[in-house]
Amino acid sequence: MHLKAVLFDFNGVIIKDERIHRQLIDDIMLSENLRPQPQQYRQVCLGRSDRACLKDLLQHCGRFVSEPYLNQLIKGKERAYFQKLGEMSKLPIYLGLEDFITKLRLTNLFVGVVSGALRSEIEFVLDRINLKSHFQVIVGGDEIETSKPHPEGYLLAVDRLNQLYPEANLHPQECLVIEDTPAGIAAAKAAQMQVAAVANTYPFHMLQRQANWTVDYLADIEIERVQQVYTSKVAI
């Protein structure tokens, strides 16, 4: 078995925008005449799609909304997100991202994004930081029926890579996932992928119990060592 692909989460791994998302979700709750609950946001929303987050938050408050209305809320949040990023002279991208992605591409690994974020948001950011061309596959939260911790997004990324590069004959076990939340780690594990967790959103010790590797910073991931583990089939 060899490592063939590295799949990134987006929010909390590529861009440090959790504060922005929380503010926008709080704004939606207030517009619905509901009081935001910080602890509830952390439990319900981190690592999950906007659809799953909003649906669960509203239901917890006894508010059951139709799918068209939920779509309207998500579209409004998308517009507000673009406006927030558009006001920034420099996006809050995590340190070392560009160097790490360059290293992956030099080792001929496939690179992708699998996120609960909308595809339009992912592409907007990657275009803005001139890294989109380095990613062969993007799976946004609006392209799947479920949300992390369900593995659908990661399995779809494998399917799409095999459609683009059938000669690769890629299997989930040949993918490394980079995540920052328990929900994301669970999704990758359910897809039979190994996980390198970055302690950007949760404390190191919480992630260490769940991931195959845990690091403080993206640059701390030793991709050569990870490749050796895959090649030797050592169980972590």
* Ranges of each domain in the chain: 5-16+92-232, 18-86
Is pLDDT above 80 for 47? yes
The CATH number of 18-86, from 1.10.3470, 1.10.150, 1.10.3210, 1.10.10, is 1.10.150
Q: Are 189 and 182 in contact (CB under 8 A)?
A: no
Is pLDDT above 80 for 132? yes
Cis peptide leading into residue 166 (ω within 30°): no
| CA atoms within 13 Å, Cβ hemisphere of 34 | 20
Band the pLDDT of 233: cuts 50, 70, 90: low
Closest to 176 in 3D by CA, of 125, 112, 233: 112
Q: Are 173 and 187 in contact (CB under 8 A)?
A: no
Which CATH code fits 5-16+92-232? 3.40.50.1000
Is pLDDT above 80 for 101? yes
Is pLDDT above 50 for 117? yes
The number of beta carbons lying within 10 Å of the beta carbon of residue 161 is 21
Q: What span, in angstroms and rounded, lies between the C-alpha atoms of 134 and 126? A: 9
- Token pair for residue 100? 């790490």
137-161 tens-digit pLDDT: 999 999 999 999 999 999 999 999 9
Is pLDDT above 80 for 176? yes
pLDDT in the model for residue 144: 96
5-16+92-232 and 18-86 share one fold:
no
Alpha helices in 107-222, H assignment, sequence order: 119-128, 152-164, 182-190, 204-208
